Amino acid sequence: MRPPPRHTGQRHTWPGSRGAGTRGQVRAPARAVPATPAVPKAELIDVDNVSGLKTLAIHKRITRIGRDPDNDLVIPLETVSGLHALIEYRDGFFLLEDQRSTNRTYLGGEAVASHAPKRLKSGDEIRFNGCAFVFLLEQQLPSGDTGERGESIPPSGEASDP
């Protein structure tokens, strides 16, 4: 039979185990989670009053537009697709994106290609099969060079060509 182990009063621990001290260990700094910026105040003015709303406040990151009653802006015309277009606030800009609609989306008189978002500026005219809306920002954002009207924006995560 073995004698019981002798207790010396010292406590042995392995790094990372319970009771281990912090001496010699490097602790990673806590990462701050960046705050999601609020969506700036913007609205769509229904020039032709086809939606039954004079103005639609845009307060969400993605505003869905189309004939389907689940959309944020409902245009109750058979010539407007169920989900016709989106207005998305991304990377500091509002973007207009056609959703493969049958009768297309127009920005300033030019057709918006499906799934090729175009940057919006305050005062831009948007047409959904002839129904006119005007996009307004309470304050034009961001300051500085914002690019050309209707400039194509690459999908999130893709780099643009130099």
Q: Which one is predicted more confidently, 98 or 21?
A: 98
What are the chain's domains? 52-137 (2.60.200.20)
Confidence (pTM): 0.65
For the segment 112-150, what is each residue's pLDDT rounded down to a tens digit? Answer: 999 899 999 999 999 998 799 999 998 754 444 545 555
Report whether pLDDT(81) > 60: yes
**Whole-number pLDDT of residue 160:** 47
Distance in angstroms between the alpha carbons of the first and the last residue of the chain: 80
Contact status, residue 57 vs residue 69, Cβ threshold 8 Å:
no
Closest CA to 88 of 55, 53, 112, 54: 112
Cα(99)–Cα(86) distance, integer angstroms: 7
* Percent of all residues in the chain with a pLDDT value above 70, rounded to a whole number: 64
Listed in sequence order, the residues at least 6 apart from 154 whose beta carbon sits closer than 8 Å to its beta carbon are 160
DSSP labels, 49-75 = --SS-SEEEE-SSEEEEESSTTSSEE-
Dmax (CA) of the chain: 98
